[in-house]
Amino acid sequence: MANVRFSGVTKAYGNTSVVSDLDLELPDGSFTVLVGPSGCGKSTSLRMLAGLETVTSGTITIGERDVTHLQPRDRDIAMVFQNYALYPHLTVAENIAFPLRATRTPRREALSRAGEVAESLGLDKLLSRKPKDLSGGQQQRVAIGRAIIREPSVFLFDEPLSNLDAKLRVETRTELLQIQRRLGITSVYVTHDQEEAMTLSDRMVVMRDGHIAQQGPPQEVYTQPADTFVATFVGSPKMNLLDGQFRGRDFLLANGFALTTDQAGAAGQLTLGVRPDDLQLAVTDSDTAAAARVTLIENLGPRAIVTIDARGTEITAVVEGPALAGIAEGTPVALSVRPGATHLFDAATGQRSV
Ligand code: ADP
């Protein structure tokens, strides 16, 4: 086990930096998820840590060791990829034992260790199966087993669940978290899926255009997004962003629509952010300035996603079942923000202001 540090790490292709001046400290035993839209530099960062990509400038350390220029095999890391590429002609036990065999551990000893690892992953009844006779989730666990058996000081995961179907992805995600908690190995995980990042990480690093947009515990990133990019990237359905200004406690959009908040807000043009589940709907008279109209209700069982047309501005709300009473498509509604749930951003820069 070890902590990992990126200090001023840059990766450039020609004149283009795809990762710029990355400073990141991952404590021993932590589970860090790098998340962001496609092309933001997450895989490149992970691959530089793995030694699969050179570093243009800066240093990477694992524990006390500067590994910046070490070969991948000398870094004491293990990596699980999206395409976990098990050897089809080998059994589960042989696949898991493979890294030990590659370092010339005697066959019996390697298979015995593989048996222990398989047991910890719930694969002990499948030891003699070939990969083609396993489900996708089981194959993924074998790939994890193959990574664990070397007892690396750092575990790297590059979108390891993206080939699995939705249900299996959630199940395997839970298993992965349990394994990581049990082993306590410092882990770095790359995904473009914000939900996966929220559920897995104890440290979430949101990246954008080769930079860190925000890092911290996932709940902090969710409740205190640093800017409008992070605000809309994290959370589903995504946060509503509305441009306007306060008039007393009402937030007035340019189109004349008024949204009620519990804040007597700052003067001037602002961007107000409100998560769909922080909006409250009240049936109202269609003639008031606050009236908007429900255009679509998507039922999710205990709650519904409600799309609202506020004088031409589309607003999304998530409404719990009981609060839906009396609301149908076409109903005029007034909107208010749950107390304490407004996010305010600078209208020009998008930076959080409250
Ligand atoms: P992510 O994992 O966030 O989707 P990557 O780290 O894979 O993003 O890529 C970051 C950026 O680097 C992308 O814009 C990609 O096109 C660019 N890139 C990756 N490899 C190369 C390369 N060999 N030459 C030039 N640009 C590259």
- Distance from Cα 233 to the centre of ligand 1, integer Å: 20
Residue with tokens 């086990």: 1
- Dist. CA 280–CA 334, nearest whole Å: 8
Pocket-testing residue among 44, 53, 205, ligand 1, by greatest number of atoms within 8 A of Cβ: 44
The per-residue pLDDT for 173 is 84
pLDDT digits (tens, 9 = 90+) for 39-90: 999 999 999 999 999 999 999 999 999 999 999 989 999 888 776 789 999 9
Between the alpha carbon of residue 82 and those of residues 76, 144, 192, the distances in Å are 20, 11, 13
- Distance from Cα 18 to the centre of ligand 1, integer Å: 6
342 lines ligand 1 (CB under 6 A): no
φ/ψ region of 40 (left if φ > 0, alpha if ψ in -120 to 50, else beta) reads alpha
- Dist. CA 169–CA 137, nearest whole Å: 8
- Dist. CA 104–CA 112, nearest whole Å: 14
The per-residue pLDDT for 272 is 96
The pTM score is 0.90
Q: By three-state DSSP, how is residue 67 classified?
A: coil
pLDDT digits (tens, 9 = 90+) for 165-184: 787 788 888 888 888 888 88
Residue 1, pLDDT > 90, answer: no
The per-residue pLDDT for 320 is 94
Q: Which helix (H) or strand (E) holds 143?
A: helix 136-148
Strands (DSSP E) found in 118-199 = 154-158, 186-191
13 lines ligand 1 (CB under 6 A): yes
The full set of domains in the chain, from first to last, is 4-233 (3.40.50.300), 240-346 (2.40.50.140)
Chain-centre distance of CA 279, in angstroms?
24
pLDDT digits (tens, 9 = 90+) for 272-330: 999 999 999 999 988 777 789 999 999 999 999 999 999 999 999 999 988 899 999 99
Please classify residue 145 by burial: count the beta carbons closer than 10 Å to its beta carbon, then call 0-12 exposed, 13-18 middle and 19+ buried. Answer: buried
18 lines ligand 1 (CB under 6 A): yes
